[in-house]
């Protein structure tokens, strides 16, 4: 044995199951990839297709052009709407310009849109639990006329909201919220307005739920939890919050292995690793590889929900 080489400290790495891409993200990325294959570059994408820097950069290198608004797109090239959904005014404007567009909105976000429209048609004022400015919230509120949806961001909002006299109420939620935070907000609303009808099915999506449950399991036996994902990814940020709430001493969000800070690992024997729903699996492997260079890593795959959900691509891309 080379005595000049110090023994590497052992580190147990627990990998969450499930982690990373969900069906909605996978579908949205495939839509951009297939559009580039079928129609050639450039293909325009309104907003980031999903909230992950690496995904966006790879698609940009393939010929996707990411824009903030539709008026930045030419009339004669395909345009894709992001997985988060868009206000109704966006496809309406595209139709007026006779543009060819592909809607990559996650079907579970579309479900929330349909629920909101159903409540509005029934004359109910909709309370939307979510984060101001998030593209999904902007898209959901933009399905209906101004004033038809009231945004509720916090328990305080739920406690202080005053409905118009005689208003019938309903609620919907952003699909990527923390289950626990949403339960607190909804608890306050239901206490004040017990007649609030529940959605036909939970708005917070299966992938968000599964990843939050998985990170709670990681938190129970880990000294540190690492969440691979971008800072503008709501579901990734929520995973850090859920891990801390579940009792782990420290939890960190990082885009990739370059974001590792070795000071985080002082006294750490077990690290849990997960990834947000828009983070590619190679980024997770990159973090494990970086840890393996520094520590004597033992990898353990946590048992969890195995996801088999898939969503169909638009017919224009499969015909």
DSSP state at residue 273: E
Under a CB-based contact definition with an 8 Å cutoff, are residues 20 and 304 in contact? no
Q: Which of 57, 136, 153, 184 is catalytic?
A: 136
Give the list of residues 6+ apart from residue 122 with CB closer than 8 angstroms, or none.
Answer: 168, 170
Active site residue 136: yes
Q: What Rg do the C-alpha atoms of the chain give, in angstroms?
A: 22
Q: Which of 199, 120, 130, 178 is nearest to 158 (CA)?
A: 130
Q: Which of 256, 254, 255 is nearest to 290 (CA)?
A: 256
d(CA 210, CA 216): 10
d(CA 289, CA 295): 10
d(CA 162, CA 169): 11
Give the list of residues 6+ apart from residue 270 with CB closer than 8 angstroms, or none.
Answer: 11, 12, 13, 14, 221, 222, 223, 224
Edge to edge, the sheet with strand 43-46 lists: 64-67, 43-46, 79-81, 101-103
Q: Which residue numbers are catalytic?
A: 136
């Amino acid at each position: 044995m080379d005595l000049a080489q110090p023994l590497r400290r052992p580190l147990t790495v627990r990998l969450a199951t499930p982690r990373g891409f969900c069906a909605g993200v996978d579908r949205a990325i495939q839509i951009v990839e297939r559009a580039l294959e079928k129609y050639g570059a450039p293909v325009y994408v309104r907003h980031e297709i999903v909230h992950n820097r690496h995904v966006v950069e790879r698609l940009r290198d393939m010929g996707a052009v990411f824009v903030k608004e539709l008026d930045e797109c030419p009339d004669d090239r395909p345009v894709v709407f992001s997985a988060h959904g868009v206000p109704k005014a966006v496809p309406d404007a595209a139709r007026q310009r006779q543009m060819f567009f592909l809607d990559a909105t996650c079907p579970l976000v579309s479900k929330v849109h349909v629920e909101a429209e159903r409540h509005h048609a029934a004359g109910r004022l909709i309370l939307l639990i979510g984060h101001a400015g998030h593209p999904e919230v902007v898209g959901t509120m933009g399905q209906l006329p101004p004033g038809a949806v009231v945004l509720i961001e916090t328990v305080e909002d739920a406690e202080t909201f005053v409905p118009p006299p005689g208003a019938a109420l309903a609620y919907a939620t952003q699909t990527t919220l923390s289950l626990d935070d949403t339960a607190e907000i909804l608890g306050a609303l239901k206490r004040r307005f017990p007649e609030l009808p529940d959605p036909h099915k939970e708005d917070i999506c299966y992938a968000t739920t599964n990843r939050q449950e998985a990170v709670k399991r990681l938190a129970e036996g880990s000294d540190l939890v690492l969440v691979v994902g971008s800072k503008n990814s709501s579901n990734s940020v929520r995973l850090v919050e859920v891990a801390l709430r579940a009792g782990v001493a420290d939890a960190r969000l990082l885009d990739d292995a370059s974001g590792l800070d070795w000071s985080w690992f002082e006294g750490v024997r077990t690290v849990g690793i997960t990834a947000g729903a828009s983070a590619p699996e190679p980024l997770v492997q990159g973090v494990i590889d970086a840890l393996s260079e520094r520590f004597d890593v033992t990898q353990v795959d946590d048992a969890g929900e195995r996801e088999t959900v898939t969503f169909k691509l638009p017919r224009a891309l499969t015909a």
